[in-house]
């Protein structure tokens, strides 16, 4: 006797707009209670190039070179993490230095490298991470606006020098900082 192939797991995985999953996400998506069958399915999907390993316990439905670096950083750094500080300041033209790593704010302080891209995640208290003022939540990652990025960098490092002070309104940064509860 033969068994009909269960393609429900694959279709659930591919119709979802999310591209990066943790093991717990896959278990919930597939209603899998058995850890052994879950890891076996993941291993088989990796062999068939349906899933790609991003980091330990984190998998993607597309190859790593097709993922945006911000998406990888936010997925590895945690659910509340977001791109901020030097990355946003450089992108907005507020600092002139070339930043070699994507900088994030998250639940844990960590430095890691994936697919040749460096990431630096700075610790931020969860009470500040939950407050999403000044953070644009995209479909696949979150990024701070320039006022939130300035407030974040001043919260982490009070003596940080910003090259282009004309590029942002100091009063708006102060309002964001006060609303978040930062002491600058």
pTM here?
0.89
Q: Please state, in angstroms and rounded to a whole number, the distance separating the CA atoms of residues 108 and 178.
A: 23
Based on the fold, state whether residues 162 and 110 are members of the same structural domain. yes
Based on the fold, state whether residues 87 and 41 are members of the same structural domain. no
Based on the fold, state whether residues 97 and 44 are members of the same structural domain. no
Based on the fold, state whether residues 19 and 94 are members of the same structural domain. no
CATH number of the domain encompassing residue 54: 1.10.10
pLDDT tens-place string over residues 109-163: 999 999 999 999 999 999 999 999 999 999 899 999 999 999 999 999 999 999 9
pLDDT tens-place string over residues 95-112: 999 999 999 999 999 999
Q: Looking at the domain assignment, is residue 94 inside a domain? A: yes
Q: Looking at the domain assignment, is residue 71 inside a domain? A: no
Based on the fold, state whether residues 85 and 127 are members of the same structural domain. yes
In the chain, the DSSP E strands lie at 20-22, 52-55, 58-60, 82-83, 101-106, 110-114, 117-123, 135-137, 142-144
Longest dimension (CA), the chain: 74
Q: Looking at the domain assignment, is residue 73 inside a domain? A: no
How many domains are contained in the chain? 2
Domain containing 58 equals 8-66
DSSP letter for 165, please: G
Q: Is 161 helix (H, G, I), strand (E, B) or coil?
A: coil
Based on the fold, state whether residues 61 and 149 are members of the same structural domain. no
Q: Is 54 helix (H, G, I), strand (E, B) or coil?
A: strand
pLDDT tens-place string over residues 10-40: 888 888 888 999 999 999 999 988 999 999 9
């Amino acid at each position: 006797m033969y068994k009909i192939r269960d393609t429900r797991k694959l279709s659930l995985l591919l119709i979802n707009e999310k591209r990066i999953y943790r093991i717990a996400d896959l278990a919930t998506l597939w209603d899998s209670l058995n850890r052994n069958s879950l890891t076996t399915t993941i291993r088989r999907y990796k062999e068939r190039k349906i899933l790609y390993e991003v980091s330990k316990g984190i998998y993607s439905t597309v190859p790593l070179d097709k993922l945006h670096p911000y998406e990888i950083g936010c997925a590895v750094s945690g659910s509340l993490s977001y791109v901020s500080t030097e990355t946003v300041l450089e992108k907005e033209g507020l600092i002139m230095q070339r930043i070699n790593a994507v900088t994030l704010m998250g639940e844990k302080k960590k430095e890691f490298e994936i697919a040749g891209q460096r990431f630096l995640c700075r610790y931020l208290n969860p009470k500040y991470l939950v407050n999403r003022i000044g953070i644009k939540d995209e479909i696949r990652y979150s990024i701070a606006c320039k006022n939130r990025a300035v407030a974040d960098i001043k919260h982490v490092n009070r003596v940080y020098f910003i090259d282009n002070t004309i590029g942002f309104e100091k009063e708006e940064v102060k309002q964001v900082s006060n609303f978040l509860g930062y002491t600058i």
